[in-house]
Structure 1
């Protein structure tokens, strides 16, 4: 049964039903009292069901290797309307799975796929082999050879709804196989949190897995906001035809060829990938290759215009997405020439369906610093440009573009595409700033990945995937831009860390780049099912993102494209990009930039090692990004009647110490990382802040004294403990807020004291340190277990009874337990344990047998100084997990350690947090971030149909700020009009055209400039030059019309001849032969000129004199 969970949660940070959160806590508390054998994972209810666990979408599940990520017993997802979210069901053999239920939440949008395997071959030289050292898996613990999950066989396909052969499947004993589950959120789904279960069945029984999904109050656009040119290979043959029909041209069946290519290109769009030449054409062909009906029905309407589905009854989920770019090759003599270019122009400029603004020529490939190569590109591109002058892209760095003079001499190049390692070399500084002159001139920089991600070692038989040191001349130098052969770079290899397939849009946003180029999507399609069949130029899968879904291979009766897992992960990255765009549009660019820079600081950050399996940092960062958007849309009405999003701890603040201004000061920040306020500003130590029980005051240490200030840092602080040769520190509040407990250190001994705030007078309580106070007034603290082990500190509790403090005993028994904090309801504690490596534990506030459990640990890094959220469902803690060792930041998580989100970033060590609920924290005014500026904005061009308007942006500060363009028709956004130029169309007639330009850069407040030219869009008539006719005015003689020119050129001319002012029936040609009826009459010629987006115009000519006899 599907359940919508409405107002049952106080915070959307934990989108679990209360029943599940309680059961998770009960399980934690029960572990300490349970024999070890009972702690093994168990399956719910049906003992005869298969052993099933859940993996996230970035965990790689190979059959005989340990999965790269942790497995859980349920799935928890967050998605916007119009977004896919995925998880994997991991089945441990022996088991024969007969079915998996496929209608989560009753939406009819669940896709279930068997993860079949691609086999990596054990070869050498140029033969198929692993891609690179990353094929060894996490910690080099996997065999690089053998089966890797990649092709996804649907239970029922999305196009024809035909049953395919995903089920049944048998998992051998000792192996793990996975089922991929896609959940798409309908466009009209109310926001809120939904709960359901998915059932995995065998002949002997079934296993149910709980699935929770939070739907955000935001709708993701169907068409990608990311410029993309993913090319389909067509080097002399159609790989799609060959793979499906064993014929290079589908047996000369153009209709079959069109159908197959349309399905592959539309499947790419379902994954937000634009295959910009995905029409099944050879390099030299234009759209005239197909019959008009085939072109319109299978390509233009469903893929370019988004006005129809193909097939008409296909079950696509995305609402008619369109290609972000349409392109053709034009840099070689066998590419698109004059005839081909004219065909593209004719199709792209038809009245009422003009998409010419999305067309771009592929103008040159890897010209480098060779004037010869650039010259060849120019020669061929000039031919295409002469027929149809459209923008072009070239694969080149800016330096190479300028170096020979040939690159910069090529006409109308608007887009440079360097490879990833040329923009951000390994071990070197980013070259992105060098592109600022190019970008500031209104051009774009995209990015490309290819076999460079594995060093293209297959091109040289002396370099294998293991990079033999026996051939040092063939290896890149240690400071090579490729680093360790592309390790950690964006790539679409099968045998690579999963986050590499998702990371490219993150890198594009990280470095202020505008699009992606990739070649190709189908290069080895015909051998995709073979062992090593996707090995191309040193990488498995590079250049092929699909598998051919023939009935003989996957069942059913119709051919379809089969998606790879890599393509699904690419889709997820492009969905992430839509969050980036929305957050930046909402003025949250600085917060976004901080998240991206932490997650992926350079182009080589996407490794297995990242958070244990290469996914944790990306998933944590996505959770922070979702959290930002959830908070941003809080309070906005849900158009579909859902409860809307609830901001995370909307009234809470975390107070902490940081030395970011040179010495330790007190700061406060909201749990979502916004609203940061500095509360103290001086040159002495300020630290160990603690909220009062009602969150109206803060106690803290200042220079060895314990003080109390108002929550917003105003007023005169009250000194509670000072002097006496003692350093006073680490305050904790009494339950009623009238007294403080704190430490005093003198002569090398630390003790705990109590003092009223109103009448300060420290009184000894107990020897120890790190005090905390529970709701009953008992003091919890750290102290040594025995003098024999002075570093072995446990957590103890003492209470006030009959006028004395009475020891109640130990609560923990680990080695060095300290920094204890008590939950707000007094029932639980959290503390740090460790020496060289701290971990965070949570347990019961009860002396006796230890009842606490590790919830946060990061091997090689620290997790410490934890405190509970005001509702006790979450923790704030200190860790250096995301940066360099010792770079301590505040993070938060659920109380079981899941859902980790970074709260602070930037310079300074953030320490000793406490979480309270003040209504607001004003504090002294913080220095405001400098504001980006746009000196001026206008656009050139006439407000006339057919004219091109070009943005003219004045000086922008700071240098390198990211510019986003948006054109408006009146007050309404023009869909897709996000470039520097805009071509005026008929829909604009009578409307004002407005341009918004937004400038943003990390560390600056973004600014948006607006310009609207006076007047509204008009259309103008064609101008006709001189009109006359030649020939003698005698019966039987032929007259011929002459028109000197039209403006613009290329107008269509129509003719009408007149006799004494009356139309001559049928005389509508360019020539007219005089007849007997014309004798004695005057002859007039009327020429009418028409052109798309212009008013028709006419002009007449009558020669003096009348028609004579022969």
Structure 2
């Protein structure tokens, strides 16, 4: 009886919308940023394809006019366990200063708030971000459902959803090591709570869990090193509080998927005063990580972006760390520099240091990755990171056209840049073969301003910030929690692109994968912006992966039968 009543209610919802002539929702690719002044036409139904172990999003757009939208829970039924969708409404950030000529002022979608959060502007469209995630154990096949919506109490036409869960699976943990900063103290300031409070500690865990859910590993966190005392040349370290903070993220118990951090930063301790004490402390940290079975890449973050006057400090830091053995690599964020070459076990220049281009250079020493590897010792790894050296450090378009061109086209995490640029780092990592990605912060603006009204930092909108502080005052939560951004979804999608390409290569399709990635990214500053091209390449990769996966599985079955 309950099911029939629900069905009748759903039909009634739909009929009211049709009879009232309510606006029809349209489905738009997640790779388009929907802005008030340029509404895309879209489709009448949503079609998604996702691997086991993957999340895929799509946007549902309602024209301007509605102040409040409600959505019935969306569940897709198929051959396996039903797929339950996650839904958010895209709020807008009012950009006052463009990041550069690729950006622009005005309203840009970015914060992902609860669907029923009232819109502050009836002139803006209602854009829903709808996400489906298939667990690794999900049974492949076709799943169907319908999204039912109300706008200001009136039902609108349902949106049919079809999702094809592929037979191949992506690993839960990113295959590309990465490390993005997050700070307990910034989080506490953004939420207006005390850093030492249980509420702040819980928020830190929520933020880090959100990052890991999007295939991102965190560094910084509470920043508290484990207590240590020194005894007969050895370090006696109390790891209890440290383990309580980090262990679940390193052991695969923080998420049902079993995802783990790919990296682990070494926190320096003021208690270690001499070189010998520091070496003993680093040695104890490395031994603890090994004993725990943590497979994350350890690293010591040396002085960030060292200036010439910092060279002596970085060299000293490297010597101290290396005195502990070879288990803690030293990460140096600098272009290739003769004075620092021997200090780096992981060299991390900015993205623009890898790709020479005509006109002014925005890195003092531009060296393509393969050339750079030839200049480094074989064991040295190469990471990269984004900075304002890509989008420009002052904001707005440069007066000199050649300078503006030098800062344009780069892969970018800025709010007012096209979604393909937000997504490009994963494919670029596969194209070049870089060993990892670093990013300095994900909550930086919490320290300086209200992120809900302004994310302009270091010449870009969103530089160093991927979250918004969700509080009882905005957007009106009953408790504090992180609000995700559209850009975090694009970052995750790029890392999933990396997994697709890597899986193709592992299945003997290296040439196909290389040709596919070059249709998306040709260099760090030459990124395909045509959404249709991105979708076409993804469809072709999916088809080839499915073909190869099924052939491998059939070969396995044939081998079993022959035995």
* TM-score relative to the length of structure 1: 0.44
> 1:384 Cα deviation (Å)?
4.0
The answer to whether the Cα contact below 8 Å between 1:82 and 1:187 also exists between their aligned partners in 2 is yes
1:625 aligns with 2:541: yes
- Take 2:458 and 2:95, find their aligned partners in 1: how far apart are those partners? 14
Q: SS of the residue aligned with 1:571?
A: helix
Q: 1:622 to 1:206 in 2, by over 3 A?
A: same
Give the Å deviation of 1:536.
0.7
Deviation at 1:244, TM superposition (A): 1.7
User: 2:84 matched to which residue of 1?
Assistant: 109
Q: Contact conserved, 2:383 with 2:437, CA < 8 A, in 1? A: yes
2:27 to 32, 36, 54: 54
Q: Distance in 2 between matches of 1:211 and 1:130?
A: 36
- Kept in 1: contact 2:346–2:382 (CA 8 A): yes
Q: Moved runs in structure 1, 4+ residues, more than 6 A?
A: 329-341
Give the whole-Å Cα distance in 2 for the aligned partners of 1:356 and 1:77.
33
2:226 maps to: 287
Please give the alpha-carbon distance, in whole angstroms, between the structure 2 residues aligned to 1:522 and 1:506: 25
User: What residue is the counterpart of 2:46 in the other structure?
Assistant: 75
Confirm or deny: 8 A CA contact 1:93 1:174 kept in the other structure: yes
What is the deviation of 1:594?
A: 1.1
Contact 1:225 1:578 in 2 (8 A): yes
- 1:224 is aligned to 174
Q: CA deviation at 1:509?
A: 0.9
Residue aligning to 2:396:
465
Q: Say whether 1:395 aligns with 2:338.
A: no
Match of 2:523 among 602, 611, 614: 602
Distance 1:232 1:95, change over 3 A: closer
For residues 493-551 of structure 1, what are the alpha-carbon distances to aligned partners after superposition, in whole Å with 9 as ceiling and x for unaligned? 11111111110011111112111111111111256645652111100100011111223
Q: Conserved in 1, the CA contact under 8 Å of 2:49 and 2:166?
A: yes
Which of 208, 217, 232 lines up with 1:274 in the alignment? Answer: 217
Aligned pairs for 1:678-827 within 5 A: none
Deviation at 1:54, TM superposition (A): 0.9
CA distance in 2, matches of 1:213, 1:634: 19
Q: What is the deviation of 1:257?
A: 3.9
Post-superposition Cα deviations, 1:252-309, rounded to whole Å, max 9, x if no partner, equal 33x44432222211110001111133x211xxx4134998655434421x21112x33
The 5 A counterparts of 1:937-956 are none
Q: Shift in Å at residue 601 of structure 1?
A: 1.6
- Aligned match for 1:239, one of 186, 199, 203: 186
Q: How does 1:374-385 map to 2 (within 5 A)?
A: 374-385=311-322
Matched, 1:261 2:204: yes
Give TM-score, length-normalised by structure 2. Answer: 0.83
Give unmatched runs, 5+ long, in structure 2. 1-15, 229-236, 360-365, 555-563
1:267–1:454 CA distance, 2 compared to 1 (3 A): same
| Selected match of 1:576 from 468, 484, 497 | 497
Contact 2:345 2:381 (C-alpha < 8 Å) held by counterparts = yes
Offset at residue 490 of structure 1 (A): 1.2
Residue pair 2:266, 2:300 contacting (<8 A) in 1 also: yes
Is residue 264–residue 296 contact of structure 2 (8 Å, CA) maintained in 1? no
- CA deviation vs aligned residue, 1:1014-1069 (integer Å, no higher than 9, x gap): xxxxxxxxxxxxxxxxxxxxxxxxxxxxxxxxxxxxxxxxxxxxxxxxxxxxxxxx
The offset of 1:343, in angstroms, is: 5.6
Where relative contact order (Cα < 8 A, 6+ residues apart) is larger, the structure is 2
Taking a change above 3 Å as real, the CA distance of residues 569 and 378 of structure 1, as seen in their structure-2 partners, is same
CA–CA separation in structure 2 for the residues paired with 1:240 and 1:171: 25
Give the distance between the partners of 2:48 and 2:274, measured in 1 at CA.
Answer: 46
Which of the residues 481, 485, 495 maps onto 1:560? 481
Q: Aligned-pair distance for 1:131? A: 0.8
CA distance in 1, matches of 2:280, 2:84: 42
Is the CA contact (8 Å cut-off) linking 1:117 and 1:151 kept in structure 2? yes
**What is aligned with 2:265?**
327
Partner of 2:99: 131
- Say which SS state the counterpart of residue 226 (structure 1) adopts: coil
From 343, 347, 351, the counterpart of 1:416: 347
Is residue 593 from structure 1 mapped to residue 521 from structure 2 by the alignment? no
Q: Which whole-Å CA distance do the structure 2 matches of 1:597 and 1:96 have between them?
A: 43
Provide the rounded CA distance (Å) in 2 between the counterparts of 1:216 and 1:517: 31
8 Å contact kept, 1:361–1:392: yes
Tell me the secondary structure at the aligned position of residue 218 of structure 1: strand
* 1:432 matches 2:373: no
Contact 1:79 1:214 in 2 (8 A): yes
1:104 CA drift (Å): 2.4
- Cα distance, 1:108–1:212 mapped onto 2, change above 3 Å: closer
CA shift for structure 1 position 216? 0.7
What secondary structure, in the 3-state scheme, does the structure 2 residue paired with 1:579 have? helix
CA separation in 2, counterparts of 1:452 and 1:329?
A: 27
From 246, 249, 255, the equivalent of 1:303 is 249
Question: Which stretch has the larger CA shift, 323-332 or 590-599?
Answer: 323-332
SS in 1 for 2:382: strand
The answer to whether structure 1 residue 366 and structure 2 residue 305 are counterparts is yes
SS in 1 for 2:323: helix
Partner SS state of residue 66, structure 1? coil
Cα distance in 1 for residues equivalent to 2:175 and 2:443: 24
Residue matched to 2:94: 119
1:349 is the counterpart of 2:287: yes
Q: 2 CA distance for matches of 1:240 and 1:339?
A: 32
Structure 1 segment 895-1044 matched on structure 2, within 5 A? none
Q: Mind listing any 5+ residue stretches in structure 1 that lack a counterpart?
A: 1-42, 122-128, 136-143, 155-165, 310-315, 458-463, 470-474, 639-1110
* Separation in structure 2 between the aligned mates of residue 118 and residue 338 of structure 1, nearest angstrom: 51
Deviations 1:89-116 (A, max 9, x none): 1111222444213332153531111111
Alignment counterpart, residue 87 of structure 1, candidates 32, 39, 58: 58
Q: 1:114-168 deviations in whole A, cap 9, x for unaligned?
A: 11121212xxxxxxx2211112xxxxxxxx32321111113xxxxxxxxxxx415
Higher helix share: 2
1:407 corresponds to: 340
When residues 343 and 100 of structure 1 are mapped into structure 2, their CA distance, relative to the original with a 3 A threshold, is farther
Please state whether the residue corresponding to 2:34 is helix, strand or coil. Answer: coil
Contact 1:445 / 1:513 at 8 angstroms: preserved in 2?
Answer: yes
Question: Which digits, 9 at most, give the CA deviation of each residue in 1:157-208, with x for residues without a partner?
Answer: xxxxxxxxx4153586553120111111122222122222111123122321
Matched pairs, number: 519
In structure 2, the residue matched to 1:176 is: 125
CA distance in 2 between counterparts of 1:332 and 1:120 reads: 41
Q: Is the 8 A contact 1:426 1:603 kept in 2?
A: no
Q: State how 1:629-668 maps to structure 2 within 5 Å.
A: 629-635=545-551, 637=553
Residue 11 of structure 2 is matched in structure 1 by none
Change in Cα spacing, 1:392 to 1:172, as seen in structure 2 (3 Å) is closer
Q: Deviations over 1:1064-1098 (max 9, x none)?
A: xxxxxxxxxxxxxxxxxxxxxxxxxxxxxxxxxxx
How far does residue 50 in structure 1 lie from its aligned partner after superposition? 4.1
Contact 1:367–1:373 (8 Å) recurs in 2: yes
Q: Deviations over 1:749-779 (max 9, x none)?
A: xxxxxxxxxxxxxxxxxxxxxxxxxxxxxxx
**Distance of 1:120 and 1:494 partners within structure 2:** 9
Residues 527, 533 of structure 1: 8 Å contact kept: no
Bigger Rg, structure 1 or 2: 1
From the superposition, tell whether residues 187 and 409 of structure 1 become closer, same or farther in structure 2 (CA, over 3 Å).
Answer: closer
SS in 1 for 2:407: coil
- Residue number in structure 2 paired with 1:1075: none
Task: Report the Cα offset of residue 394 of structure 1.
Answer: 1.4
More strand by share: 1
Note the alpha carbon deviations across 1:814-867, whole angstroms, 9 max, x for none. xxxxxxxxxxxxxxxxxxxxxxxxxxxxxxxxxxxxxxxxxxxxxxxxxxxxxx
Deviation at 1:49, TM superposition (A): 4.0
Q: Return the alpha-carbon distance in structure 2 between the equivalents of residues 624 and 604 of structure 1.
A: 24
The correspondence for 1:543, drawn from 440, 459, 464, is: 464
